[in-house]
Amino acid sequence: MRKPVVAIVGRPNVGKSMLFNRIVGERVAIVENEPGVTRDRLYASAEWVGREFNLIDTGGIEIDDDDKIINQIRVQAEIAIDEADVIVFAVDGTTGITNSDQEVAKILYKSNKPIVLAVNKVDNPELIHNTIEFYALGLGEPHGVSSIHGLGIGDLLDSVIGHFKDEDTSGVDDDIIRVAIIGRPNVGKSSLVNAILGEDRVIVSDIAGTTRDAIDTKFKADGQEYILIDTAGIRKRGKVYEKVEKYSVLRAMSAIESADVCLIVIDGSKGIIEQDKKIAGYAHEAGRACIFVVNKWDIVEKDDKTYDQFAKKIRDNFLFMDYAPIVFLSALTKKRLHTLIPMIKFASEQHSLRVETHLLNECLRDALAINPPPTDKGRRLKILYMTQVSVKPPTFVIFVNDQELLHFSYERFLINKIRERFNFEATPIRFIIREKN
């Protein structure tokens, strides 16, 4: 189920990153007392009274000079309007309403999105009267908050989650495999969609970031129904949007959460860059089945070693995803495209695989016999029992005498043994450790 998305917007230096950190509960954003210091879009999961949501810190619009500040803030607000379900408009309670605040308010007022007004830097009760003038923005009740001290955050979040809509899952068909096509701009995601569908349902262009909206398309192959989600970039055409490529991951996040299988598309002609790792990491952390798709393989100069060398680069750069298969193809010429759909179906089956408890514990006993649990300061780890508690991804509970004795390396050993015994591929495996006296 897709989590609601909450974006924090506002002019520079009103404390957006500090507010982001306070809501998330940890220092994720770099906070400095200078405008424009956040260099990357930050995205984190948050929770309030049992409601989970994704929070975006939209700081980081770099401002070249004072004349461009209004234009840049407008870009920032428009991105938040496009992507968010609820918008938190942050203003500075110590400075009052500024021209920049009024410009953002005008845009938000026309958005038809729920707006929650956060008057930040109200660091003591005596400053609460500073919030009154912000009624003039026409965006409803101002919430006085202090990101530094945590004052008023609870009331703010109560208002935020009050705007969440309950997801209707009655129409969700578990038999349909949802496939998210993710990757950095201009790696050929839209071309891959068109190649799979066999028709030009998605506009394809060589201009990076052409696709504006995520597009869900249903199709059937060999009796199996699929939904393809194209997440190719979010940027509008124009120089203004070239500076906000950091937002291109955002749409992929929403698609990842609702997907069963993620196709991580890499440009074979240009190789692997850091953004590829970030996007793949999101899919892995979300527990989705993953397939690396190396596109544009037709224009790569090859010899008899090229395939193996590129595959090794993927394994070296994505050590945490050694379970994910690799498919080399060309969306343009459709060469090797026929191998992709069977791989997607296989990955989905692995993602949903459930193993009987007695077979799991047979595997566990064999693993313990091959490599007995280590000791730590004279105490030996005892692994008592294992059972599978869920799928998508396959998740196992392991009962031990002391969970502090279960080192990451030994946990990794057990995961590998489960993969070997039950042929788990293309999916991450999750362990939940429990102590049992």
Q: Residues annotated as binding site?
A: 10-17, 57-61, 120-123, 183-190, 230-234, 295-298
Judge whether 324 and 318 are in contact, CB under 8 Å. Answer: yes
Per the annotation, where are the binding residues for GTP? 10-17, 57-61, 120-123, 183-190, 230-234, 295-298
Phi and psi, residue 27, nearest 5°: -85, 85
Cα→Cα distances 145→131, 179, 308, Å:
9, 41, 56
Cα distance between residue 325 and residue 294, in whole Å:
11
Residues in the chain: 437
Cα distance between residue 113 and residue 94, in whole Å:
27
Cα distance between residue 346 and residue 137, in whole Å:
54
CA triple 396-397-402, angle to 5 deg: 140
Which DSSP state fits 151?
A: B
255: tokens are 């698609």
Q: Which residue, among 56, 62, 55, has the nearest Cα to 34 in the 3D structure? A: 62
Judge whether 122 and 128 are in contact, CB under 8 Å. Answer: yes
Cα distance between residue 269 and residue 260, in whole Å:
28
Helices 357-370 & 408-422 angle (0-180, nearest 10)? 120
SS3 356: coil
Q: How far apart are the first and last CA of the chain?
A: 36
Cα distance between residue 371 and residue 403, in whole Å:
18
SS3 328: strand
**SS (HEC) of 53-102:** EEEEECCCCCCCCHHHHHHHHHHHHHHHHHHCCEEEEEEECCCCCCHHHH
Phi and psi, residue 377, nearest 5°: 55, 40
Residue linked to tokens 């006993």: 365
Judge whether 33 and 13 are in contact, CB under 8 Å. Answer: yes
162: tokens are 């009050």
